[in-house]
Structure 1
Amino acid sequence: MAKQETNINRAIRAREVRVVDDEGEQLGILSLEEALAAATARGLDLVEVSPNAVPPVCRIMDYGKYKYQASKRAAEAKKKTAKVETKEVKMRPKTEEHDFQFKVKNARRFLDDGNKVKVTVMFRGREVTHPEFGRALMDRIADEVKDIAAVEMTPRMAGRFMTMVLAPNKKQ
């Protein structure tokens, strides 16, 4: 342990760095001034890639090009991620059968597209005193789409609204 500490102190005092050139070949341990001179001779930058190593490791590279390629890789990775939206279907506790089927059809379409569906039951006036009607409606919806979706968030009341979130099943 003491040997390593002396190497660290020596590297810091001598300001030595291990240098890797732009083709990936080791140039060895050079003083900081020599490493900077080697980088400027090639018209490139000296970039510290491993500051905690003994001695620190620096690479000769075109830093602007490196940053550009890194941003391109990040953009490409972001492009490939799946974007899941949350669509909403709103109902009332006294929604009639045809309207209910229409809302279920829309929810199925959203789920087939790979989106999550937030089902909201809105209570007005004294309807809020009977949340069991809204719960029954939510259970019917969950039962209608159980072949293509799973309940992600169970029905819960928030003021005059009861909400539930359905997520599409994973495709095989």
Structure 2
Amino acid sequence: MKNDKMKTQYRVNEQIRAREVRVVGEDGAQVMPTRQALEMARQMEVDLVEISPNAQPPVCRLIDYSKFLYQQKKHQKEMKQKQVKVEVKEIRFGPQTDEHDYQFKLKHAKEFLEEGNKVRAYVFFRGRSILFKEQGEVLLLRFANDLEEFGKVEQLPKLEGKKMFLYLAPKKAGVAKKSQQKLDREKREAEKAATEKLSAVATDSEELDIPASGGLFANAKNGSEALEKLKK
């Protein structure tokens, strides 16, 4: 069915209606009457194929029509293969995400990024847990930090309603690595920022008399080395 459609896409030989055409070949292009171009095609035992009908005059090639269709089909197939379909995979964290669940979701996120997909990770806050959005931010920063080898941050943690989102895109091959000096400096800056956030979180927990062990808070503590440098 596709081949039939392609065959009707081009005018060939006597189907060409223009009085003159521009014949393109290895030696360049030449404008000539269509009758002359048809005679050349007969002498060479090939076809006169109109490849650009809207040009003035229309552009044609002297080529075997079957071979021409094969080349066109091959070109379309190659273009289709180059068009990579990128999907957005979603990773959800709850207010009480434990370490085992975190590692499980981290593993899936690595697989998604290696396959060339984007990742949208988010923490969903319920009820009073929205008071500890800083914990969710640190968790997502840790998540991005653990995935820095596989993906780059498109959007740092951002609260939207009761959800805080982080967007990651797969890293392209051949991305230049940062110098060790710059990495060390950014790590120190990130550690300082994370420590300040954790101090604020701990203070809030004490004021509200909420246990600071397990669940999201544990992940927040583990995220002290989360790097804001990840957004490049």
TM-score range, shorter chain: 0.5 to 0.7
Distance 2:89 2:79 in 1: 25
SS in 1 for 2:73: helix
Which range moved further: 160-169 or 34-43? 34-43
Distance 2:112 2:60 in 1: 52
Distance 1:101 1:26 in 2: 62
Equivalent AA in structure 1 for residue 21 of structure 2: V
Distance 1:27 1:137 in 2: 64
Aligned 1:1-172 pairs, distance under 5 A: 15-19=19-23, 29-36=31-38, 39=41, 44-47=47-50, 49=52, 57-63=59-65, 65-80=67-82, 82=84, 84-128=86-130, 130-172=132-174
Distance 1:116 1:147 in 2: 14
Identity of aligned residues (%): 41
- Could you tell me how far 1:165 is from its partner in structure 2? 1.6
Distance 1:19 1:149 in 2: 50
TM-score by length of 1: 0.63
Query: What are structure 1's unaligned runs of at least 5 residues?
Result: 1-14
TM-score by length of 2: 0.50
Runs of 4 or more, structure 1, over 4 Å off, are 24-29, 36-43, 48-53, 62-65, 80-84
Query: What are structure 2's unaligned runs of at least 5 residues?
Result: 1-18, 175-232
- Per-residue CA deviations over 1:48-78 (Å, capped at 9, x if unaligned) read 548656x664333455642442122221243
Structure in which a larger fraction of residues adopt helix: 2
Distance 2:163 2:148 in 1: 23
- Per-residue CA deviations over 1:101-146 (Å, capped at 9, x if unaligned) read 3222332343344443221212233434543232122122123333
How large is the Cα RMSD of the aligned pairs?
3.7
